[in-house]
C-alpha cells in the first residue's frame, strides 16, 4: 500500500532521445511521441513515398522535439511510390499536438514536383497549440508550403524559408468561411518567394485573429502578397516591418481589423495596400500608418468603404508614384446625409502621384519630392535622403498609431517621427539592406552591398521628378497645410 503514492510521484514514462539516419523507419519511430521525447535527424535525404503523421502532447517544461543534429541539414523528400503516383496530400501532417518543436528540417518534393498531378503540400498542421517551427525550409511543392488547416493556436514560426510552389500559398491559415482559424500566433522573419498560381505568400483567412507577421521578406509572387481577412470582431492581426516586392497583383489585401505599419512595399504588379469591406458586417479598426509604398502599377494605397467604417486610420505613410497613382480613399459627399469618414484619423501622408478622396486643407496629405525623397530607389534603398520631405513630418499623435521602432528596429522619437517605414538617423541606412534572403535586425550591418536590383520601373523619368514635387491633386485641393484634423470629426480614442 505504501508503494502506490510513490509510484504516483514518478513520471508516466521516461523521455527518449533517438538519433535517426536516412533509411530508418521514420513512420514507426515518430508515430508515438510523448512529453520530453527528442528525435535527432542526422544529415542526408530521407525519401518518403507517403505522408508522415506526427502527434503528441508535450508540456511547457518537456516539449516534444524533432530537430536537426548540430551542423546537419536533413531533408525529408517526398517521391513517387512504386506505382509512379504521389501517395500523399502532404509530406508531413502534424495534428492533435501541443508543446511540439520542429527545428532545422527541410521538407521538399522530389523530381516532378511541378507536374500537374503533384497536389501535395509541405507541412500541414491541424488542431495544434504551442507549436514552434524554427529554421525550417519547405520547397518544391505542388500546393501550399505551410498549410495551417483547421484550428491552430499560439503557433510560432521563426526563420522559415518557403519557396517554389506550383499552385499554392506560402502559408495558408484558417478557413475562408471563418469555420476554423489561426489565433495568437507569430510569423517572424520568414523568407517567402517563388509562389506560383493565383495564390498568396501569406493568407490569414476570415476568423484568424491576434496574429503577428513581422520582419519577413516576400517577393516573386505570381498573384498577391499578404491577405488579412476579417477577424470576426476578434483581436486585430498585425503586419509589421516586412519587405514586400515583385507581386503580380496587390502586395497587401486587408478585409478586417489590422495594424499595417512600418512595411516597405514596391514593385507591385497591381497596387500596394488594398482594404475593403468583405460584406461580413465586421469591417472596422483598420490602421495603415508609417509605411513606405512606391512604384506600384495601380494605387499605392486604395481604401474602399471607409465612409462609415469605425476606427480607421491612414497616417504618416510615404506613398510615391511620381507619374502614377498615389492614394484613393472612398468617401461620401457631405450632401448625402452621411457624415464623411466620421470615425477616421487621416493625417500627414506624404505623397507624389495622383490622389483621390483626400484633403490637403485638412492636413490629410501633402506633397512629397518624388524619388529624391529616398537615398537610392534604383538600388532598392528607400531610406530617407538627408533633405527628404519625410524627415520629422509624421503625426506624433497616439491616434496615428506611431510605432515605437521603425523598419530597422531603431527607436522613433515621440515628438517628431519621420513619415514612412524608416526613421532617419544619418546619411546612410544603419540597418538591413533590402535583398533576397532573411532580414537581419542588426543595426550595425556595415556598408551596403552592391546594387541588387531596382525598385522603380519609372526610374527613367526620375530626373524630372527629382526637380520637385509632382503631386496631382484635384483642383479643389490646396497643397501645403498640415496637421489640422478632419473638419467636424473627432479622432478615435487614443490607442497604443
Q: What is the pLDDT of residue 1?
A: 38
* Helix (H) / strand (E) containing 29: helix 26-29
Q: What is the pLDDT of residues 423-463, one digit of tens each?
A: 999 989 999 999 999 999 988 644 554 544 455 543 333 33
First to last CA, the chain: 59
Q: In which region does residue 305 sit, left (phi positive, over 0), alpha (psi from -120 to 50) or beta (all else)?
A: left
What CA–CA distance (Å, rounded) separates 97 from 148?
13
- Write down the domain spans for the chain: 36-240, 277-496
Higher pLDDT, 309 or 155: 155
The set of cell numbers assigned to 464 is: 524630372
Q: What is the pLDDT of residue 13?
A: 53
Q: What is the pLDDT of residues 205-220, one digit of tens each?
A: 999 999 999 999 999 9
Q: What is the pLDDT of residues 402-425, one digit of tens each?
A: 999 999 999 998 889 999 999 999
For the ranges 71-75, 223-227, 481-485, the lowest mean pLDDT is seen at 481-485
pLDDT at 484 over 60: no
What CA–CA distance (Å, rounded) separates 79 from 109?
7
Mean pLDDT of 283-292: 96
What CA–CA distance (Å, rounded) separates 435 from 452?
7
Higher pLDDT, 469 or 260: 260
Q: What is the pLDDT of residues 45-61, one digit of tens each?
A: 999 999 999 999 999 99
pLDDT at 493 over 80: no
The chain-wide mean pLDDT, for the chain, equals: 86
Q: What is the pLDDT of residue 362?
A: 84
pLDDT at 398 over 70: yes
Of the pLDDT bands very low, low, confident and very high (cuts 50, 70, 90), residue 203 is very high
Of the pLDDT bands very low, low, confident and very high (cuts 50, 70, 90), residue 164 is very high
pLDDT at 477 over 70: no
The set of cell numbers assigned to 481 is: 497645410
Q: What is the pLDDT of residue 338?
A: 43
Scanning the structure block, which residue is given the C-alpha cell 506633397? 367
What CA–CA distance (Å, rounded) separates 256 from 160?
26
Contact 256, 309 (CB under 8 A): no
What CA–CA distance (Å, rounded) separates 181 from 231?
9
What CA–CA distance (Å, rounded) separates 361 from 164?
48
Looking at the chain, the whole-number percentage of residues with pLDDT higher than 90 is 76
**Of 52, 158, 48, 35, which is closest to residue 97 (Cα–Cα)?**
35
Mean pLDDT of 393-402: 94
Q: What DSSP assignment string belongs to 238-267? A: EEES-EEE-BSS-SEEE-SSEEEES-EEE-
Q: What is the pLDDT of residue 111?
A: 95
What CA–CA distance (Å, rounded) separates 198 from 271?
16
Cα 283 to the center of its chain, rounded Å: 20
Q: What is the pLDDT of residue 413?
A: 86
Q: What fold, for 36-240? A: Pectate Lyase C-like (2.160.20)
pLDDT at 101 over 50: yes
Q: Is 138 exposed, middle or buried (0-12, 13-18, 19+ CB in 10 A)?
A: buried
**Of 313, 315, 253, 305, which is closest to residue 283 (Cα–Cα)?**
305
Contact 173, 197 (CB under 8 A): no
Q: What DSSP assignment string belongs to 327-344? A: EEE----GGGSSPTTTTE
Q: What is the pLDDT of residues 326-373, one digit of tens each?
A: 999 987 654 444 445 668 899 999 999 999 988 888 889 999 999 999
Q: What is the pLDDT of residue 289?
A: 97
Contact 494, 313 (CB under 8 A): no
Q: What is the pLDDT of residues 107-137, one digit of tens each?
A: 999 999 999 999 999 999 999 999 999 999 9
Q: What is the pLDDT of residue 254?
A: 98
Mean pLDDT of 313-336: 84
Contact 182, 195 (CB under 8 A): no
Q: What is the pLDDT of residue 211?
A: 98
Scanning the structure block, which residue is given the C-alpha cell 532617419? 424
Q: What is the pLDDT of residue 341?
A: 67
pLDDT at 487 over 50: no
What CA–CA distance (Å, rounded) separates 377 from 296?
13
The set of cell numbers assigned to 290 is: 508609417
Amino acid at each position: 500500500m505504501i508503494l502506490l503514492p510513490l509510484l504516483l510521484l514518478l513520471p508516466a514514462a521516461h523521455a527518449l532521445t533517438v538519433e535517426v539516419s536516412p533509411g530508418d523507419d521514420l513512420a514507426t519511430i515518430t508515430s508515438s511521441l510523448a512529453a520530453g521525447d527528442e528525435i535527432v535527424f542526422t544529415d542526408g535525404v530521407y525519401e518518403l513515398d507517403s505522408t508522415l503523421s506526427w502527434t503528441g502532447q508535450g508540456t511547457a517544461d518537456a516539449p516534444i522535439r524533432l530537430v536537426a543534429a548540430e551542423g546537419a541539414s536533413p531533408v525529408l523528400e517526398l517521391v513517387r511510390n512504386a506505382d509512379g503516383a504521389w501517395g500523399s496530400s502532404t509530406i508531413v501532417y502534424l495534428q492533435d499536438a501541443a508543446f511540439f518543436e520542429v527545428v532545422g528540417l527541410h521538407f521538399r518534393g522530389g523530381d516532378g514536383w511541378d507536374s500537374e498531378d503533384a497536389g501535395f503540400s509541405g507541412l500541414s498542421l491541424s488542431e495544434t497549440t504551442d507549436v514552434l517551427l524554427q529554421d525550417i525550409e519547405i520547397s518544391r511543392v505542388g500546393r501550399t508550403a505551410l498549410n495551417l488547416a483547421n484550428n491552430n493556436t499560439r503557433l510560432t514560426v521563426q526563420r522559415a524559408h518557403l519557396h517554389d510552389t506550383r499552385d499554392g500559398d506560402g502559408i495558408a491559415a484558417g478557413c475562408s468561411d471563418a469555420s476554423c482559424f489561426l489565433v495568437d500566433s507569430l510569423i517572424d522573419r520568414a523568407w517567402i518567394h517563388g509562389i506560383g498560381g493565383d495564390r498568396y505568400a501569406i493568407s490569414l483567412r476570415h476568423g484568424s485573429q491576434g496574429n503577428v507577421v513581422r520582419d519577413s521578406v516576400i517577393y516573386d509572387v505570381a498573384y498577391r502578397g499578404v491577405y488579412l481577412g476579417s477577424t470576426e470582431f476578434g483581436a486585430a492581426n498585425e503586419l509589421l516591418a516586412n519587405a514586400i516586392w515583385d507581386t503580380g497583383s496587390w502586395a497587401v489585401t486587408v478585409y478586417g481589423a489590422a495594424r499595417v505599419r512600418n512595411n516597405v512595399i514596391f514593385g507591385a504588379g497591381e497596387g500596394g495596400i488594398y482594404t475593403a469591406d468583405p460584406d461580413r458586417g465586421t469591417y472596422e479598426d483598420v490602421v495603415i500608418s508609417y509605411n513606405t509604398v512606391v512604384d506600384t502599377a495601380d494605387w499605392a494605397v486604395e481604401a474602399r468603404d471607409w465612409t462609415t467604417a469605425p476606427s480607421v486610420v491612414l497616417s504618416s505613410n510615404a506613398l510615391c508614384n511620381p507619374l502614377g497613382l498615389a492614394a484613393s480613399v472612398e468617401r461620401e459627399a457631405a450632401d448625402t446625409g452621411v457624415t464623411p469618414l466620421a470615425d477616421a484619423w487621416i493625417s500627414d501622408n506624404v505623397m507624389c502621384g495622383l490622389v483621390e478622396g483626400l484633403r490637403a486643407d485638412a492636413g490629410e496629405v501633402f506633397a512629397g519630392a518624388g524619388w529624391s525623397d529616398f537615398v537610392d530607389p534604383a538600388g532598392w534603398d528607400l531610406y530617407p535622403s538627408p533633405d527628404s520631405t519625410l524627415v520629422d513630418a509624421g503625426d506624433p499623435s497616439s491616434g496615428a498609431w506611431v510605432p515605437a521602432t521603425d523598419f530597422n528596429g531603431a527607436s522613433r522619437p515621440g515628438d517628431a517621427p519621420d513619415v514612412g517605414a524608416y526613421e532617419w538617423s544619418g546619411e546612410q541606412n544603419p540597418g538591413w539592406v533590402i535583398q533576397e534572403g532573411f532580414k537581419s535586425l542588426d543595426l550595425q550591418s556595415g556598408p551596403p552591398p552592391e546594387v541588387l536590383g531596382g525598385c522603380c520601373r519609372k526610374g527613367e523619368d526620375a530626373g524630372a521628378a527629382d526637380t520637385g514635387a509632382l503631386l496631382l491633386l484635384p483642383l479643389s485641393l490646396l497643397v501645403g497645410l498640415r496637421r489640422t484634423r478632419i473638419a467636424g470629426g473627432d479622432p478615435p480614442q487614443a490607442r497604443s
